[in-house]
Amino acid sequence: MKNMTIWNIARACKGHLAVPAGKHTGTCPAAGMAVIRGYSGKEAAGIVIDSRKVEPGDIFVAIRGERVDGHQFIREVFDKGAIAVVCEEEPEELPGPCIRVEDSLAALRQIAAFYREQMPIPIVGITGSVGKTSTKEFVASVLAQKYKTHKTQGNFNNEIGVPLTLLAMPEDTEAAVVEMGINHFGEMHRLSEMVKPDICVMTNIGQCHLEFLGSRDGILKAKSEIFDFMNPEGTVCVNGDDDKLMTIEEVHGKRPVHFGLSPENDIYADTIVSRGLLGSTATIHTPDAAFDVQIPLPGAHMVLNALAATAVGLQLGLTTEQIAAGIAAVQAVSGRSRVVQAGDLVLIDDCYNANPVSTKAALDLLSLADGRKVAVLGDMFELGEKEREMHGQVGAYAAEQGIDCLYCAGSLSEEMYRAAKEAGISQAEHFADTDALLAALPELLHPGDSVLIKASHGMGYAKIVEALEK
């Protein structure tokens, strides 16, 4: 890792570097830290927080979690070949170089921020209430047509995932796409300080995390913290069809680039033709050109993701041919509108997370399917005081979209079930929990069904997808 020596890492996180007794030592007057000759110049191969993933040459950051305390594995990681450990408490007898800090999680962020500074490459930060992951996939696929591109993996979009994403960048990375998710004020500020994005993409302002952020205006304020440490010469790209994002008139003296379906946007799409679960085709218009695209993922919202990727691609010098090729090459991520043929069933695996906006979008997608349309839904968390009302709205919306069957689990989803029944879905059932629903599904589903699986991550609906795929 470029310039990631033990000494530089200790400096970056303002830690105290100590080694086993008997080794040569010195001091750095500027920082008041010990410098150990023969140790401090070693460069890390990687930075990890999971002791099981330690490889020779890595530095292990010991974090105290809810279930596991990384400090318990300090000796073990040295046995595996770690060259140093960042920790809040040193073992009585040091098995190797230890960088003692007050807060290991804060140190992880500081180390990631330092490494980002060693990588003078364009980084795209993506945030919003819905669609961050799929937008990230579109943007990364487009940029990969010109640059060696690094991107967020899985759900690594929070205060642990973002620094790990940055620290996983290979030295030859030419561009990076980092997903940035929050649910409290101040979090995006800290993420932005690490990422220092050159381009900020905001997908929309929906109704998620209302429990902590209060209102859509609160969500906009919290997510706008992404601008706090962005490159002042950089660019902001926002969904111009979103009423809240439209209120952002300028950032660092520059007008945002607007993308959306309305022709009033800088980048927009028309002649959109749905191909059902196979995706859609569209014509994308920029200020200088118009070009046709094949969007391989299903759902109208995927057109917006393609537009966001177009906006970013143009900022980083891609041609329209390269942008169209990147859009056509995008692939679905597990749990994010992934269409799966599972025996006699067609599954729409959208089980990673849920809120009212994303669930309605998923129901829109299900409405395009062939055969009996079955929605397997669950509780949506962090919606605040109107949570039951919002669940009821989703149930009614399912009926409006012509969904044939609704099977749901969880205490909040009882309101979803009730509203769906009242709105005309006769084949609807409610279950107390995910396990009860999973046990009943084999008798409820028929060959030829198209099945949407969606709920908040805490409901554990991934095991429903896994069971049905088998």
- The answer to whether 293 and 271 have CB atoms below 8 angstroms apart is no
Question: DSSP string covering 200-212, please?
Answer: EEE----SSSHHH
Binding-site residue set: 128-134
Distance from C-alpha of 86 to C-alpha of 71, rounded to nearest angstrom: 9
273 burial (CB, 10 Å; 0-12 / 13-18 / 19+) is exposed
Distance from C-alpha of 352 to C-alpha of 443, rounded to nearest angstrom: 24
- The answer to whether 203 and 222 have CB atoms below 8 angstroms apart is no
φ and ψ at residue 297, rounded to 5 degrees: -100, 140
- The answer to whether 348 and 371 have CB atoms below 8 angstroms apart is no
Strand partners, 35: 26
Distance from C-alpha of 461 to C-alpha of 338, rounded to nearest angstrom: 14
- The answer to whether 120 and 231 have CB atoms below 8 angstroms apart is no
Binding-site residue set for ATP: 128-134
- Please give the structure tokens belonging to residue 414: 């009882």
Closest residue by Cα to residue 314 from 57, 449, 142, 434: 142
Local structure of 271: helix, strand or coil: strand
Local structure of 382: helix, strand or coil: coil
Distance from C-alpha of 127 to C-alpha of 175, rounded to nearest angstrom: 17
